[in-house]
Structure 1
Amino acid sequence: MLKQKIAVLGPGSWGSALAQVLAENGHEVTIWGNNPAQIDEINTYHTNRHYLPNIKLPNTIIGEKDLAKAVKDADAVLFVVPTKAMRSVAHEFAKVCENTPYIIHASKGLEQGSHKRISEILYEEIPQAKRKEIVVLSGPSHAEEVAVHDITTITAASVDEQAAKYVQQLFTNEYFRIYTNTDVIGVETGAALKNIIAIGAGAIHGLGFGDDAKAAIMTRGLAEISRLGVAMGANPLTFIGLSGVGDLIVTCTSVHSRNWRAGNLLGQGKQLDEILENMGMIVEGVATTKAAMELAEQLNVEMPITHTIYRVLYEGKDIRQAAKEIMLRDSKVENEFTM
């Protein structure tokens, strides 16, 4: 693939790791952020120690504080900002963009209030005259592992298959492999909702339960994700792929997962406000739990695990009692899709 100019919006751990992949693939990479000290560190020391300790970024990555300069003449713009900031950043991008780049996003969540997926926000905020097609980049991946070249496989999803293939070619190398998919709804809902289940999986660990309980919450959590996703229009097969069960496994089993770590601390008796204050990074699953509960009620989809986690996070429910109550619900048939 010919050298491309890529603007990465969001110099967190994942944005920095993806910028590293692109730079190592020979592309011209600019990374934009609104923290001047962080951008200065990237330019001066080629590090981003708060998010990726002990990682030396390629010195070809240029940090930029001015959004208009960052996206000028870009062939593709990669959004890797928290869900709550996505609309405002996309709006500002649309005001300064002077060409029609591909739009890629690698964030995972649902917008509060509207319950919209991230690609829907981008479609609303970026006029068609200022972009090519939108592509979602998602799957089982931790920035900390990608940054040290651990083998990783994820999905590029778009309603435009050629756009997905473009992103596939941008990123693929000997340690980072991309598969394409056209089910944007499924990929985005799997990416967002697995963070809820990861909080529950962490809580199971924090409470001292073993592998049986972990397997139970992951498996039944996947059933909930699939039910809501299909109600939203997703292909059910997507949820047995990389952005479904793959992402769920990695997020529910790894200490790299902020959502798992938050749940683990909840299970140990820590207070949510204290956990979020000390985490240092966004725990997307907390806000997504609220959005998913509201969406499930709207679509009449039963999600008992999500509902239980919602009660713990937002209603102060005792977490051990919540675990007991979910086990004592009415008995069900396993493969009854609407249960």
Structure 2
Amino acid sequence: METQKKVTVAGAGSWGTALAMVLADNGHNVFVWGNNEKQINDINENHMNSTYLPDIKLPEAIIGTTSLDEALEGVETVILAVPTKAIREVVKKICATAKQPITIVHVSKGIEPDTLMRISEMIEQDGDSNILKDIVVLSGPSHAEEVSLRHPTTVSVSSKNMKAAEEIQDLFINHNFRVYTNPDIIGVEIGAALKNIIALAAGITDGLGYGDNAKAALLTRGLAEIARLGTVMGANPLTFAGLTGIGDLIVTCTSVHSRNWRAGNMLGKGQKLEDVLNSMGMVVEGVRTTKAAYQLAEKYNVKMPITMALYNVLFNNQDVRSAVDALMSRDRKSEMDDLVNILQATK
């Protein structure tokens, strides 16, 4: 296990707090930085984050702060646990405040619409090269609610600098939280982002009452879409058979803990997108990512029928049942075609 370090988690949501618990369990001094003073006071006075992880007692080694100066003083590693849309703003603040080189470990899952950048690319673009030492991504099948209960969880870390990834592996790994390394940062980030699209669709089919057959088909064909796009973008297809591919897909598409599944479920039951998002209380990354994936499919000329159907539901007001009917009425094809195309894309 790593020697004791000061580590800062930027973002006091459920995932950031759960990861802070893992780090505290490993003997590190953990600062959680956030803007909500009431929430930070709850962490410090009650050792709770009642807003996002009710009934979970936090280790006393976790200290909340609204001061970024305090949070970054003497820190070498920052865990970036904020929504995709806030990444650029927070990275700029961190780089403007830090007085020493830092490694940023991002744990968010998304792709930026229009720029079509992965999160590590966004961080690299907006980060100060004099401050930003390395960028690492931590991802995998991991609900914050279960990590906070110290249930067995496995994730992957990846980076352009695998020595940095191995250091983060050592920082987090313990008998409840197992960490693997994967050199394929493109595949890790693409799998993590696109599975939220399939989770939204899975929630819709469950909301419609279509059962297990439909969900099995959706997960299988959804994974094919993810791999099809990912390999064209330079990912290793084997990554999509791992934790950040099929692993993350399974957990996000089958659990009530998944906010993307819950949002899709509400859409499937007839609720409007605006009402669903207003009622969630947390960011549903799959909505923004659906737009980005739709744009990526057009850019790379990759067929992504599930993504296309969901895009029409979310942004063109298509009825959910008619969207599913359209998917089922597509021209017949061979399942082997996808596998051949994915293999050819890697040559």
TM-score, length basis structure 1: 0.98
Matching residue of 2:319: 318
- Match of 1:161? 162
1:202 paired to 2:203: yes
Q: Which residue of 1 aligns with 2:47?
A: 46
In 2, are the aligned partners of 1:293 and 1:306 still within 8 Å (CA)?
yes
Q: Are the aligned partners of 1:105 and 1:136 in contact in 2 as well (CA < 8 Å)?
A: yes
- What SS class does the counterpart of residue 133 from structure 2 fall into? coil
Equivalent residue for 1:75? 76
One-letter amino acid of the structure 1 residue matched with residue 85 of structure 2: K
Shift of 1:126: 1.5
Counterpart code for 2:138: L
* 1:112 paired to 2:113: yes
The Cα shift of 1:21 comes to 0.4
The gaps in structure 1 that reach 5 residues or longer are none
Report the aligned-residue RMSD. Answer: 1.0
Give the aligned partner of residue 227 of structure 1. 228
Partner of 1:135: 136
**Counterpart of 1:212?**
213
Measure the CA separation in 1 of the matches of 2:25 and 2:139.
Answer: 20
What are the Cα deviations for residues 224-246 of structure 1, in whole angstroms up to 9, with x where unaligned? 00111111111111000000000
The offset of 1:260, in angstroms, is: 0.2
8 A Cα contact 1:90 1:122, kept in partner = yes
Amino acid at match of 1:323: V
Partners of 1:48 and 1:117 in 2: CA distance: 29
CA-to-aligned-CA distance 1:262-297 (integer Å, 9 cap, x gap)? 011111111111110000100000010001101110
> How far off is 1:133 after superposition?
1.5
Any conservation in 2 of the 1:312–1:322 contact (CA below 8 Å)?
Answer: yes
Q: Secondary structure at the match of 1:208?
A: coil
- 1:41 Cα offset (Å): 1.0
> In the alignment, is the contact (CA less than 8 A) between 2:6 and 2:74 conserved in 1?
yes
DSSP-derived class of the 1:336 partner: helix
CA–CA distance in structure 2, aligned partners of residues 175 and 185 of structure 1: 27
State the Cα deviation string for residues 24-67 of structure 1 (Å, max 9, x = none).
10001000011111111111111111110110111111111011
Letter in 2 for 1:133: D
Partner of 1:129, secondary structure, is coil
Alpha-carbon contact 2:143-2:257 (below 8 Å) kept: yes
Q: Which residue of 1 aligns with 2:262?
A: 261
Mapped partners of 1:69, 1:230: distance in 2: 42
* Structure 2: distance between partners of 1:123 and 1:207: 41
Rounded to whole Å, the distance in 2 between the matches of 1:91 and 1:232 is 27
CA shift, 1:141, in A, is 0.3
Q: Relative to structure 2, which stretch is displaced further, 198-207 or 69-78?
A: 69-78
Pairing 1:144-155 to 2, within 5 Å after superposition: 144-155=145-156
- Give the whole-Å Cα distance in 2 for the aligned partners of 1:29 and 1:277: 32
Residues of 2 paired with 1:101 and 1:318: CA distance?
Answer: 47
Which of structure 1's runs of 4+ aligned residues deviate more than 6 A?
A: none
1-structure distance, mates of 2:171, 2:90 = 23
1:165-193 CA-to-partner distances (Å, cap 9, x unmatched) read 11111111111000001110000000000
1:335 Cα deviation after fit: 2.1
Q: Aligned partners of 2:120, 2:277: CA distance in 1, in Å?
A: 26
Q: Deviation per CA, 1:134-172, whole angstroms, max 9, x where unpaired?
A: 110000000000000110000011121111111111111
- 1:112 Cα offset (Å): 2.3
The amino acid of 1:89's aligned partner reads V
2:275 is the alignment partner of 1:274: yes
Cα displacement string for residues 85-125 of structure 1 (whole angstroms, at most 9, x for unaligned residues): 00000011111111012210100001122111110011111
SS at match of 2:59: coil
Aligned residues: 339
| 1:84–1:112 Cα contact (<8 Å) kept | no
**In 2: Cα distance, 1:297 partner to 1:112 partner:** 13
> How many Å separate the matches in 1 of 2:6 and 2:159?
20
Rounded to whole Å, the distance in 2 between the matches of 1:3 and 1:75 is 12
Matched, 1:172 2:178: no
Structure 1 residue matching 2:117: 3-state secondary structure: coil
Q: Distance in 2 between matches of 1:273 and 1:124?
A: 32
C-alpha contact (below 8 Å) 2:28/2:61 kept by paired residues: no
- Structure 2 letter corresponding to 1:309: L
328-337 vs 144-153, which deviates more?
328-337
Instruction: Provide the residue aligned with 2:252 in structure 1.
Output: 251
> Partner of 2:91 in structure 1?
90
